[in-house]
Structure 1
Amino acid sequence: MGKIAFEEHFMTPGFEAYSSSFISLIEAETARVLTRRLNDFDDERIAIMDRNGIDKVILSQTGPGVQGEPDVQTAIDRARQSNDFLAERIARHGDRLAGFAILPMQAPETAAEELERCVRDLGFKGAMVHGHTDGVYYDARQFDVVWDKVQSLDVPFYLHPTNAKQDPFCFADHPELLGATWGWGVETGSHALRLLFGGVFDRFPDIKLVLGHMGEGLPFLRWRFDSRFEAYPCGVTLKRKPSEYFGSNILITTSGVCSHHALIGAIGEMGAENVLFSVDYPYESTELAAEFLDTAPLDDATRQMIGRDNAVRLFKL
């Protein structure tokens, strides 16, 4: 089975400052390796794919990208710059690499136009956006133009973690809870729930939102979302039960959660056709992720569905 992975990152030249606060927390030698791998498209990246049975990866600018840019015009210009840079690098290995667009969500109409350009002209497979833009979430109606374009182009929108606009008070004096350990999942899962309860999937029923890290834990609470929303709807009306948007609109990847128990639980909640393999390279180990899938207690058909077939269908490969 040739695997396909699509939470696999790179760094656009000049974007390093956006990630500096995150990278600065990492031990110096680890940061050096990460930087080398983020900047490589030809040698180490392809060799690691070959060693671990990964046929194709869909690359995305590492976070927060232009979502961390306060100036709107600069965000627009740099998004286009990054997307053009990625398209040039993909062209050198078109059989192995593909791309996600980054979008200047500071300007929703321009973001929609940039997505269309990237899909139609550059051949990109969708978009990856690194969470909110300066504390603005995408259930707000000004982003409907983006969701309409996502739906009409029939490409997925990967909602990737980022830092909260303001750290929750319960994290005070516990910096270890910030970032990827816990805080990013809380932030991103909450953003996804805003989209669900904010009616985005009712207004645009065909969009596919992708969440990494076993869906940021949300699939395991589907029953509770239904139970408590029925008890406390707070004036919100949805066309379906909250649990029913999982699988139809929300898909998940295995990135960064190499637990067989979690995988079996996610399949039980989501259905195998809505769970997809990914690594989160270079922040997670490709070797460990590949071994995790290869040794998972699955029949061969389900393993291939998660490792490859679901991605082929989602990205029309």
Structure 2
Amino acid sequence: MRYLQLINAGGTITSKSNDQGVLEGAGHSLLAGVNLDSLPLAVREKTVYRGLSEDLSLNQASAIAGAALDAVHQDDVAGVVVTHGTDTLEETAFLCDLSHDGGKPVVFTGAQRAPEHAGYDGHRNLLDALHLAAMPDAAAHGVTVVFAGEILAARYAIKANSAALTAFTAREPKGRLGRITDRGIALGRPLPRHTPWQRQLPAPDVLILPIYLGATAELLKLAMTMRPSGLVLQTLGSGNVPASIAELIEAHGESDVVFASASHCAGGVSPTYQSGARLAEAGVIGGGDLDARKLRLLLACALAEQRDPEQLKSRLEAYLLSTEKYY
């Protein structure tokens, strides 16, 4: 008998208050108290993590994504839902999407309010996610994030509000895939899919360097003392940095460090301005319309799979270009 696999990965949706009234991870079962009668399939739950998501290591996030992908390849599993803490949900969902072959739906969700708080949103989000995971057509969308009735592509889902129940949105308009209401599920056309990345632990030494008003090359020099294998510049505008930072990257020449750039805002990066053009000329990989946190994971997966510079750049560019024309 086919069923839906629920992967319980902790977070606010399963949290509780301690004696001081501060929320802590609890990891209790999610199915108690949820009316599953409207679902076409039974649900089985597996707990893989009990804490809050700000404490997750890259190893643990990879294990959560791996548990979802393992379930996808079980013949009797029709779809997978992962409940996850919202602080890093977008990163684990994206990590899962990178290696997902699209065979069955995988849906991430969570909650903004704890089970003991008024207006707890966990049960509603969970039920919505389970209904989406039960739809075979949802598999074509890869890994999705469902929150407050919104269906978002994992590639573009971001937590945009720390307190609102409508915490998640899409960084790019094309990342809004559909909605779930009392009348049912409305899904748009899928984004093009990419060749899945190998399932292995991403390189742990890829850093993010934020660029801001008045940032100097000293910050980059400090980051380089950590000897990263990759470094993502969270740039200004369309991929711009102060001249001193561009000069330092140019001076590194044939460095073993792989540099990439992502804009701090939506719209993507391009070598439109002088500093962005200098970065591109120096071999910095433009991260397309990905945000810095997701570009860091993409680069980490690429470095775990391939270290040859030309093949690495080719593989990254093939992924980054895969959906740019779909707005």
Q: Same fold (TM over 0.5)?
A: no
Bigger Cα Rg? 2
Structure with higher RCO (Cα < 8 A, 6+ apart): 1
* Structure that is richer in strand per residue: 2
* Structure that is richer in helix per residue: 1
TM-score, length-scaled by structure 2: 0.29
